[in-house]
Amino acid sequence: MAVLLRIQGLVAGYGEARVLAKVDLVLEQGKSLALLGRNGAGKTTLLDTIVGVTTHHAGAIQIDGKDVTRLRAEQRTPLGIGWVPQERNVFRSLTVEENLTATARPGSWTLERVYQMFPRLKERRRNLGNQLSGGEQQMLAVARALMLNPKLLLLDEPLEGLAPIIVDELLAALRRIVTDEGMSAIIVEQKARKVLPLTDDVIVLERGAVTYRDTSAALLAAPETLDAYLSV
């Protein structure tokens, strides 16, 4: 299977501060990865670096065989990155439908298909972004990323702060997107036991370095290992 994302010896951070320490990572097309670790381990920084909004110090990033290490964020998005940051970054003064169509790119993920995935968004398609609940804003952020028709979906804490019923709805959608549809994805999530069943593989970061990598199924089957890496 072809490699979609290849990261080699990556050192990056913010300004002079180095957060990531020689990270190596390979993600094949159609595969999904759970990115775990304690707070401050560098998970968000790794996603930010793939997107291109951190300071690069060393190493290389390739997306679909193209070296993007020196490309700016706006130059990477057209190569197939769909990013859902923790802040969601919903356009608060635009309607749901305007949020979805403002940056849409041609492909199989259409407005109709996104509405099928997230019926709540169709019901609220004329509501402004600032009129949505936190859970609805998260659904909108995921749906907007899908409307880019990306090759790689990056999700940073998609379940954070959501009510249990919304968590269940979002997990069901992610299962369809990642497991059933086979979209390549990297998912950062504190609720490890929620996200591991959706993903193929897992890596754990500690102090900006990869300290564990295996299949998600193997880590789920070793709860003592999971607790050792993620307990506070």
pLDDT tens track of the chain, all 232 residues?
799 999 999 999 999 999 999 999 999 999 999 999 999 999 999 999 999 999 999 999 999 999 999 999 999 999 999 999 999 999 999 999 999 999 999 999 999 999 999 999 999 999 999 999 999 999 999 999 999 999 999 999 999 999 999 999 999 999 999 999 999 999 999 999 999 999 999 999 999 999 999 999 999 999 999 999 987 5
User: Whole-prediction pTM value?
Assistant: 0.95
Which residues does 107 contact at the CB level (< 8 Å), separation at least 6?
149
Distance between CA atoms of 12 and 47, rounded to whole angstroms? 11
Distance between CA atoms of 77 and 148, rounded to whole angstroms? 9
Reported as half-sphere exposure (CB side, CA atoms, 13 A), residue 59 has a value of 23
Q: How is residue 206 annotated by DSSP?
A: E
Q: At what angle do helices 164-174 and 134-146 cross, to 10 degrees?
A: 10
Structural domains of the chain ordered from first start? 1-79+191-232 (3.40.50.300)
